[in-house]
Structure 1
Amino acid sequence: MGSARRRRRLPTRAVAVTRDQVYGRRAVREGLRGRREVLELWATERAVKAEPWLSDVDRPRVQVKAERELTEAVGTRDHQGVVAWCEPYKYADAWELAASERPLLACLDQVTDPRNLGAVCRSAEGAGATGVVVPAHGSATITPAVARASAGAIEHLPVAVVPNLARYLAEVKSGDLWIYAAAGDADASMWDTDLSGGLAFVFGAEGKGLRPLVRRTCDAAVSIPLAGHVESLNVSVAAAVLLYEAARQRRRS
């Protein structure tokens, strides 16, 4: 009998492991306290000495690295000596957020700066908001820079992405959920508006403002009274002011 024919072994493919990068001391610390599993953690010797909580981390083990290694890994020096790799961020369901009891949402229309998105998330989490909603196109979504700017708030705050913001707002608005456009030219100010019920604020990008269709979809518009010479506030500051005013009214209702 002839020798048995050898089977050709196909080359094995490496399984791609998807991981999210998080950097910055507060962002990583909240990542360890949040819902995602932290898979790998690097820190410089200086950071370990300055941040006692790094010495208390059991899993994963902190790997002490040179600062240049962290900079090369993240592509920026803005890491504060701490970098982690986590499970991918899991976005929330925007319709479930809107269906919550007396929801408080911050919706962003074409806000592309990751620092602004991160700052809005930080304010929203602090104000006890239900979540943040952003469109899938023409808007910043969750990235390492957003996690850093949010000081880790994204690890606790639901963030949802929708295909079309105007359509989403039209579908979820109801008697239990009012949609307010944040607009400097609005006749009604936040002092004169009842913000104690279920509501969603919609904020536009600086300079451009809200797109016409998005604004027309809103039930009403509300402004922040300004006493100085400037005509508007940064979108993240405006979001903080309105969200905290809504939170204040809710506590009193």
Structure 2
Amino acid sequence: MARQNDKRALRGRAGRMQGGRGSGRASTGNVRLWGRHAVEAALKNPDRIHRKLWATREGIASLDGELPDDFPVEYADAADLGRLVARDAPHQGLVLECAPLDDVHLADVIDGDADRPVVVLDQVTDPHNVGAILRSAAAFGAAAVVTQDRHAPPESGVVAKSASGAMEIVPWVRVVNLSRALEELAEAGYWRLGLAGEAEAVFAEALPTGPVALVLGAEGEGLRQNVASHCDALARLPIGEAMESLNVSNAAAIALYAVAARTE
């Protein structure tokens, strides 16, 4: 990659560095990321341990930053890169293999900025939806996204591509027991507001001041009863009768915007 003085250094740790602690993101081995935004964000994340980058020369040139001289890069054509990722994945000339991110614990989030909302996902398993929610969480300043370890997708290229770099920015907390996590949030002073289409209260009316945890369930099934019972209130988004429901990632974006807008 030609060195240019106007580009910032890509700060992430190269593949020669070993010993990164495994994460709780259901990824036991290396993670393979693709696409410019996902790869660039991972390269700029100082907490990432990178193993190897496969790239076209055009892909390298598109990066906002310089790779270290000894960074492990293997140049390949687009067709070869296509064999490294999911079928028809839009790799944009960049495929990065790296270690999973370290665990993020709920206590670390609770001890942070309580003015920022926490998003809690109940059995949202589609990686595209989780990635899109991470992207909205980054856009609207959420403190974290919380999922249950057994009922959420692992850290992956699909999540990262849908998140468009947000997987490196927003803490993703994986917990064993979602109900217990909601109890911990309540103990820390968060108002737990669950989104449910059958609720009588409208979201804007139920949204309180102060710390809030937004709780969303999977499309179709919605919130499980035990999770809903651990919410302080349930509310619905006021959508028209022409549509029965919204995609969970769209609902999360609307709810996060409403939380961000309440202080303006």
Give the conservation status (yes or no) of the 8 Å contact 1:169–1:217.
yes
Question: How far has the Cα of 1:228 moved from its partner?
Answer: 5.2
Aligned match for 1:167, one of 180, 204, 208: 180
Number of the residue aligned with 1:210: 223
8 Å CA contact 2:55, 2:93 repeated in 1: yes
- The residue number in structure 1 matching 2:198 is 185
Of residues 71, 75, 97, the one that matches 1:85 is 97
Aligned residue runs from structure 1 range 1-253, under 5 A: 18-34=29-45, 35-48=47-60, 51=62, 53=64, 56-58=66-68, 60=71, 62-78=73-89, 79-102=91-114, 103-174=116-187, 176-227=189-240, 229-250=242-263, 252=264
Q: State the TM-score, normalized to the length of structure 1.
A: 0.85
Alpha-carbon contact 1:196-1:247 (below 8 Å) kept: no
**Offset at residue 249 of structure 1 (A):** 1.1
Is the contact made by 1:134 and 1:165 (CA closer than 8 Å) also made in structure 2? yes
Q: Retained in 2: the 8 A contact 1:136–1:161?
A: yes
Cα offset for 1:175?
7.0
**Paired amino acid for 1:58:** P
Helix, strand or coil at the partner of 1:184:
coil
Contact kept, 8 Å, 1:134 with 1:141, in 2: the verdict is: no
What fraction of aligned residue pairs are identical, expressed as a percent? 34
Name the one with the larger helix percent.
1
Aligned to 1:7: none
SS of the residue aligned with 1:41? Answer: strand
The higher radius of gyration belongs to 1
Q: How much has 1:151 moved relative to structure 2?
A: 0.7
- Structure 2: how far apart are the matches of 1:110 and 1:72? 31
CA gap of 1:175–1:135, structure 2 versus 1, over 3 A, is closer
Q: Aligned pairs, how many?
A: 235
Report the CA distance between 1:109 and its aligned residue: 0.5
Q: CA 1:152 to 1:98, structure 2 compared with 1: closer, same or farther past 3 Å?
A: same
- What's the CA shift string for 1:97-155, capped at 9, x where partnerless? 13433241111111110000000000001111000000011222322211111011010
CA shift at 1:40, angstroms?
1.8
- 2:26 counterpart residue number: none
Q: CA RMSD in A?
A: 2.2
Deviation string for 1:167-194 (max 9, x for gaps)?
2212331472111111112222222233
Distance 1:199 1:111 in 2: 20
The offset of 1:48, in angstroms, is 4.0
1:190-248 residue CA offsets vs partner (Å, 9 max, x unmatched):
22233431111111000111111000111101221113510211000000110111011
TM-score, length of structure 2 as denominator length: 0.81
Secondary structure at 2:147's aligned position in 1? strand
Q: Is the 8 A contact 2:53 2:95 kept in 1?
A: yes
Consecutive aligned runs of 4 or more in structure 1 exceeding 4 Å deviation: 15-18
Alpha-carbon deviation of 1:61?
Answer: 5.3
Amino acid at match of 1:154: M
Give 1:164's aligned amino acid. Answer: N
- Separation in 2 of the partners of 1:114 and 1:211? 20
Unmatched tracts of structure 1, length 5 or more: 1-14
